């Protein structure tokens, strides 16, 4: 578990996005979504927990880069707990245009065989 947390910290801390003109765009939001998906769908963790399902995630990132979960909608309590523990309070480097903005997306978690 310590290794997984270290990997999560490394992935989040290395999520640096290209500079743009200050307007929030889909590319920036997509980068955040991809980073979160990589963490949440890590096959080793997902298989160990035995979780599967879809979750709607709504989050914001503050001025310090800290991720705040505004909501997780799923029928799977273990999946919700996994997502919450994996990304709540994590630090992510993002463009200023994403600070304080709400990002909403769906993640599909499937166990590998």
3-state class (DSSP) for residue 78 = helix
Contact assessment for residue 67 and residue 92, using Cβ atoms and an 8 Å cutoff: yes
Kindly report, residue by residue over 9-56, the tens digit of the pLDDT: 434 443 433 333 344 567 888 889 999 999 999 999 999 999 999 999
74-to-79, 90, 108 alpha-carbon distances in Å:
8, 21, 10
Neighbours of 100 (CB within 10 A): 11
Residue 60's closest CA among 92, 35, 18, 85? 92
CA distance 28 to 9: 20
> Which pTM value belongs to this model?
0.74
């Amino acid at each position: 578990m310590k290794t997984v947390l270290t990997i999560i910290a490394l992935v989040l801390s290395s999520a640096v996005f290209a500079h743009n003109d200050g307007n929030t765009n889909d590319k920036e939001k997509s980068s955040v979504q991809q980073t979160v998906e990589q963490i949440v769908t890590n096959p080793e963790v997902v298989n160990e927990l035995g979780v599967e399902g879809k979750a709607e995630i709504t989050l914001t990132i503050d001025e310090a880069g800290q991720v705040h979960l505004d909501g997780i909608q799923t029928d799977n309590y273990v999946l919700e707990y996994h997502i919450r523990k994996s990304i709540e309070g994590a630090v992510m480097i993002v463009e200023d245009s994403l600070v304080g903005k709400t990002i909403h997306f769906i993640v599909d978690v499937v166990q590998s065989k």
